[in-house]
Amino acid sequence: MLRSSVLIGVICLLSYVSAGKVCARPRELPYSVFKPGKVIYEPSDMVTYSCIPGYVKDSGNDKAVCLTPGNWDHATLKCKPRQCRKPGPIDNGKITYTDLTYQSVIYFSCNKGYILHGASESKCMETGTWNAMLPTCEPVTCPHPMIPKFGQLNHYRPREGNISVYLDVVTYSCLLNYALLGNENVTCGENGTWSDVPECRDVKCQRPTEILYGYMSFSPYRKYNYKEAVTYGCNPPYTLDGPRSSYCDKNEQWTQKPVCRAPCHVTTPKATVLHNKRKTRVDEISGQQIQHGDILTYYCKNKTDNCAYTVESQCRDGNFTVPACYKKPGFFSAFSTDPSKMTPCTQET
């Protein structure tokens, strides 16, 4: 009996709708709902649309009206995802994202040498807020640096809690007579450990050797400590070329020793030259001898322009070459002008 009544009611309703006296259910709009919700709507009935949670009105009309002919004057509401506020920034870190709207996810990371404290990601909620707070990026920390045997810390300024942070630097040195092998500066690294700590080694050098034509300061036959030095000199008339002192280095070797260089005998006694910025004849130089490294400047004649130009020659360990342009005075030299007394050429050859 009840089923028959319901069936009859439905048939009557359909007949009523088909007769054009009522409106069918209004159409659905994306991301929105409407009220009131009824089975049938009579002419002049109105429904109001609103955006579902997480979406907000973008444009359009939010009301629809059932017209007399049984047709809707439809709503045109358009809803868009709610926007979350741009996050950040994070000190010593970065935020990665493609969008900042409802249900979008942003990702947090830290720069090299820093550790993330907090959430690694956050989601935009329907309220327009993020579901996780911004994290912080804290520096990687290193423990108290190791001190090598026979070594010490020259520079160390720990932070609170006796720790060091990423890129902090400590400086090492060794006790007297010990050589530091490695880098004296050690850095707190991105993985929370110090870079390679140097080694302090007991270094000994054998007695250094003599140098040819020279002598060494008092140097008994024994082993020498790290950085211990000896001093060298040359026997006259030789000249010292190089460092006067040699040191015992960290590789148990002596640093560069000097060499004794021979003087040069100049074979042009009548030549007028510049020596030590003074014009003189070669035979006026003691023994016609100059030291290693000394320079003689010769005057040469330019016959075409009737002027003089200069050419230098240097003593190199007993070897001295007279410039090719120099002409040894001959029989008729008394009747010609010495190049050293001629007018200098405007542009020397």
In this structure, what CATH number is given to the domain that contains residue 69? 2.10.70.10
Q: With bands split at pLDDT 50, 70 and 90, how would you rate the model's confidence at 348?
A: low
In a domain, residue 3? The reply is no
Instruction: Average the pLDDT over each of 32-36, 247-251, 302-306, 328-332 and give the range with the smallest value.
Output: 328-332
CA–CA separation, 179 and 177 (whole Å): 7
Q: With bands split at pLDDT 50, 70 and 90, how would you rate the model's confidence at 17?
A: very low
CA–CA separation, 82 and 129 (whole Å): 9
In a domain, residue 12? The reply is no
Average pLDDT score, the chain: 90
- 108 pLDDT higher than 80: yes
What are the residues whose beta carbons fall under 8 Å from the beta carbon of 167, sequence distance 6 or more? Answer: 113, 187, 188
pLDDT in tens, 55-102: 999 999 999 999 987 889 999 999 999 999 999 899 999 999 999 999
The whole-number pLDDT of residue 88 equals 85
Angle at 241 between CA 236 and CA 246, to 5 degrees: 105
Torsion angles phi and psi, residue 22, rounded to 5: -135, 170
Contact 110, 116 (CB under 8 A): yes
The whole-number pLDDT of residue 334 equals 57
Q: Are residues 272 and 335 in the same domain?
A: yes
- 3 pLDDT higher than 80: no
Domain that holds residue 43: 29-81
What are the residues whose beta carbons fall under 8 Å from the beta carbon of 248, sequence distance 6 or more? Answer: 203, 204, 205, 224, 225, 226, 227, 228, 229, 254
Q: Are residues 218 and 185 in the same domain?
A: no
- 15 pLDDT higher than 90: no
The whole-number pLDDT of residue 141 equals 94
Q: With bands split at pLDDT 50, 70 and 90, how would you rate the model's confidence at 329?
A: confident
Torsion angles phi and psi, residue 175, rounded to 5: -65, 165
Q: Residue with structure tokens 């009544």?
A: 5
Q: Average pLDDT, stretch 191-196?
A: 92
Total domain count, the chain: 5
Q: With bands split at pLDDT 50, 70 and 90, how would you rate the model's confidence at 11?
A: very low
Q: Are residues 162 and 133 in the same domain?
A: no
Q: With bands split at pLDDT 50, 70 and 90, how would you rate the model's confidence at 333?
A: low
- 294 pLDDT higher than 90: yes
Q: Are residues 209 and 249 in the same domain?
A: yes
CA–CA separation, 62 and 7 (whole Å): 35
CA–CA separation, 68 and 47 (whole Å): 15
The whole-number pLDDT of residue 95 equals 96
36 preceded by cis ω (within 30°)?
yes
Where a domain ends, among 101, 119, 139?
Answer: 139
Q: Are residues 127 and 148 in the same domain?
A: no
- 19 pLDDT higher than 90: no
Q: Average pLDDT, stretch 191-211?
A: 94
Q: Could you tell me if residue 112 is left (phi over 0), alpha (psi between -120 and 50 degrees) or otherwise beta?
A: beta
Torsion angles phi and psi, residue 319, rounded to 5: -110, 125
Q: Residue with structure tokens 């579901």?
A: 131
